Amino acid sequence: MIQFKNVTLSFGEHHALKRVNFQLPKGSFTLLEGHSGAGKSSILRLLATFEQPTSGDILIGRSSIARLSRRERAHYRRSVGYTGGDVDLLENRNCFDNVALPLRIAGLSEDDVQSRVKAALARVGLSHTDRMLPSELSGGQQLRLQIARAVVNRPSLVLADEPTAQLDDESAARVVGLLEEFNHAGVTVIVATHEAARFNRVTHRLRLAEGEVLPTLTEDGTRAEPGVQAFSQEFINKAYGA
Ligand SMILES: Nc1ncnc2c1ncn2[C@@H]1O[C@H](COP(=O)(O)OP(=O)(O)OP(=O)(O)O)[C@@H](O)[C@H]1O
């Protein structure tokens, strides 16, 4: 279970998130939706521990990740895969080395690195690119490479910030398919997106506006705790006029 308890994230006078509360069960597939600047990336960056909340608490299971020491943070991050603007591919390293990075940081043996990176590249359909530089790949391939790097550590939580942005339909469908496969295998997935319609296997949605989570409607029209209810795609489309 992931829980945000009264989480505020402020930059000076500006509040990127304002007393945000929600909970998401293990194994869920959640979309974070909302206009630009609504706070979607902030939620992912807090879960990746790139930021610390100004106030409030964030629990993963029973453990707080709100204010970890450097050592605790390094340990926690091994269980999290992140793809998005905050972590770029290394342009001067080949694709193999890019995917190997989290494993080498974690201190795995070179044999394990070899077998895990090969498996991760195969999983995203990029086995042939291991000696190429990221700049030699298409946009869609670069995203899949980022996903391979995010999941090579076998994380239990995958965070994806706009994973389909600027991709053609076929590449986007492939990226979505990969995230859905990981979820099917038990990984909790949270995606910030402006392209909700591309996703099929969604169990939870959080709609954000101005740093707040909007109240969620249940199928009978009553209010529910944010993040607690699951909805059919059809219901969501109807409720939000998509
Ligand atoms: N490091 C920062 N310093 C100052 N303000 C920030 C910082 N990070 C985010 N913000 C502000 O916090 C608010 C929420 O930003 P966030 O990136 O979470 O939005 P978003 O919903 O992901 O937007 P987008 O869809 O454009 O990516 C915005 O107003 C943004 O300008």
Q: What φ, ψ does residue 99 adopt, rounded to 5°?
A: -70, -30
User: Where does the pLDDT of residue 123 fall: very low under 50, low under 70, confident under 90, or very high at 90 and above?
Assistant: confident
Average pLDDT over residues 37-59: 96
Structure confidence by residue, pLDDT tens digits, 60-112: 999 999 999 999 998 999 899 999 877 789 999 999 999 999 899 888 999 99
Cα distances (angstroms) measured from residue 22 to each of 11, 58, 118: 22, 10, 37
Q: Strand 55-60 to strand 157-161: parallel, antiparallel, or no bridges (unpaired)?
A: unpaired
Q: Give the pLDDT confidence score for residue 217 in this predicted structure.
A: 56
Is the model's pLDDT at 129 over the cut of 80?
Answer: yes
Q: Are 36 and 57 in contact (CB under 8 A)?
A: no
* Tens digits of residue pLDDT in 188-238: 999 999 999 999 889 999 999 999 998 765 555 555 555 444 444 554 455
Domain ranges, ordered by start, for the chain = 1-79+157-242, 87-154
State the pLDDT at residue 234. Answer: 53
Question: From ligand 1's centre to the CA of 220, what distance in Å?
Answer: 33
pTM: 0.87
Q: Write down the mean pLDDT value for the chain.
A: 88
Indicate which residue's Cα is closest to atom 26 of ligand 1. Answer: 36
Q: Chain centroid to CA 191: how far?
A: 5
Residues with CB under 6 A from ligand 1: 11, 14, 16, 34, 36-42, 192
Q: Whose CA is nearest to atom 2 of ligand 1?
A: 11
Candidates 3.40.50.880, 3.30.1330.60, 3.40.50.300, 3.30.70.890; CATH matching 1-79+157-242: 3.40.50.300
**Mean pLDDT, residues 165-172:** 86
Residue 130 to residue 121: CA distance in whole angstroms: 8
Nearest to 126 by CA among 138, 112, 111: 138
The C-alpha atoms of residue 242 and residue 238 are separated, in whole angstroms, by 7
Task: Considering only CA atoms, give the Rg of the chain.
Answer: 18
